[in-house]
Amino acid sequence: MGRRKSGRDVSGVILLDKPLAVTSNAALQQVRRFFNANKAGHTGALDPLATGLLPLCFGEATKVSHFALEADKTYQVTAQLGVRTTTSDAEGEVVSQQPVTVDEATIRSLLPEFEGEQSQSPSMYSALKYEGRPLYYYARLGIDVPRKTRTIHIRSIQFLDFSNDQLKLEVTCSKGTYIRTLIDDLGQRLGCGAHVAALHRTWIEGVEGPWVTIDDLAALAPNREEPEPDYAAIEVMLQPNDCVIQQLPTLYIGGAEVGKFCSGNPARWPAETAVGETDFWRIVRQEDGCFLGIGWHRDGHVIPKRVLNGIPLI
């Protein structure tokens, strides 16, 4: 006998403005309870210290959430100069303190050095795992373990403000970039040390739609103690399943090809659409714009990569 589902079949995306001091998973579980959804996930965690855009995917939207993980992102970061910590953020223990003698001109002149493709090693206080345990487990025991260096790309670093030894920057970067490591490296280069005092994610490539807060959703959530809770008001806040992959090019298919694709079979590639150089396409029904899934081109056909269930017939 199969395991019974817990909750409702809900599909769509909530673009959450994550609050301070809440883990991404805690925020996800709270919003999931508002919808009583049986399937949910987020598209890349934000530390409790960080705030800002956190897409939460429900139901069929979880099938495409991986593509949001691959996207570039923009952060506004406040760096506290003069203080270096174990975690490179405000939650860590102070490692060293140095007087801040740099000026704005010096900072501006150094920022271009940190742009472009580079190698970066994660902090020992990250959640990446080594032999089945997160790195922060070993860090708390004082054990140093090997860390994999990854290649990242800092697209741009924009100077925003510098006052009272706090430096504000806007950073656009590739997936896998550790802003904490970037700020620690910058502090070392400036000769005074630095750590992240505040971090706010403002943009994710391909994600479009209005943000909402936990308070917004709480005000609309039904009382689940009622015999038949009414979820209509809160479901209005859900964004389309594909609102997190708008960076992918759109391929329109129609007629019998829709049935083939939705059954997991190759569909004929529309003759009027050039193949291009992209790997994946957002597949949309020509007749009504309904999002069907993600596919890729091979031998004149579109091959399903992810197919959504429950597509309404027309």
Active site residues: 47
Strand-pair partners of 50: 199
Residue 108 parent element (H or E) = helix 104-110
Query: 109 in helix, strand or coil?
Result: helix
Largest CA distance in the chain: 70
Query: 110 in helix, strand or coil?
Result: helix
Tracing tokens 């054990």 back to the chain, one arrives at: 143
Length of the chain: 314
Q: How far apart are CA 20 and CA 90, in angstroms?
A: 13
Q: Are 13 and 244 in contact (CB under 8 A)?
A: yes
Q: Which two tokens stand for residue 171?
A: 């950073």
Name every residue whose Cβ is closer than 8 Å to that of residue 277 and which is 6 or more positions away in sequence.
Answer: none
Letter for the amino acid at 14?
I
Pairing, β 50-58 against β 194-204: parallel
Q: How far apart are CA 258 and CA 302, in angstroms?
A: 11
Q: Please choose, from the candidates 245, 247, 258, the residue with its C-alpha nearest in 3D space to the C-alpha of residue 285.
A: 258
- Count other Cβ atoms within 10 Å, centred on residue 45: 15
Pairing, β 281-285 against β 267-268: unpaired
Q: Which two tokens stand for residue 158?
A: 């924009």
How far is residue 77 from each of residues 2, 73, 162, 199, 279, measured CA to CA in Å?
Answer: 47, 13, 12, 5, 33
